[in-house]
């Protein structure tokens, strides 16, 4: 678990440099939001592939990142 912006940035960078190196995260649809809450669907695409290797979604309280 990562707590705080610096810890989250460090964890994200470690993943990008390690096990997620070369993968792209591509928006898979519109961003939905309701009162204070947002939802984003995304695909994970590997280099040289035609389709996603993973489809996922993220939801978070709006204003929690940034």
Render pLDDT for 4-52 as a digit per residue (tens, 0 to 9). Answer: 889 888 988 998 899 889 998 888 988 888 888 888 888 999 999 888 9
Q: pLDDT at position 65, please? A: 53
Q: Which of 39, 47, 2, 40 is nearest to 20 (CA)?
A: 47
Dihedral, CA of residue 56, residue 59, residue 62 and residue 66, to nearest 10: -50
Distance CA 65, CA 29 (A): 20
Residue predicted with more confidence, 53 or 62: 53
Q: pLDDT at position 17, please? A: 94
Q: pLDDT at position 64, please? A: 55
Instruction: Please say if the pLDDT value at position 1 is more than 80.
Output: no
Which residues, including other chains, have CB under 8 Å from residue 47's CB and lie 6 or more apart? 22, 23, 24
Reported pTM: 0.57
């Amino acid at each position: 678990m990562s707590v705080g912006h610096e810890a989250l940035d460090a964890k994200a960078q470690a993943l990008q440099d390690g096990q997620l190196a070369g993968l792209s995260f591509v928006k898979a649809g519109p961003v939905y939001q309701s009162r204070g809450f947002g939802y984003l669907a995304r695909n994970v695409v590997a280099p040289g592939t035609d389709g996603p290797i993973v489809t996922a979604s993220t939801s978070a309280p709006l204003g929690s990142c940034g």
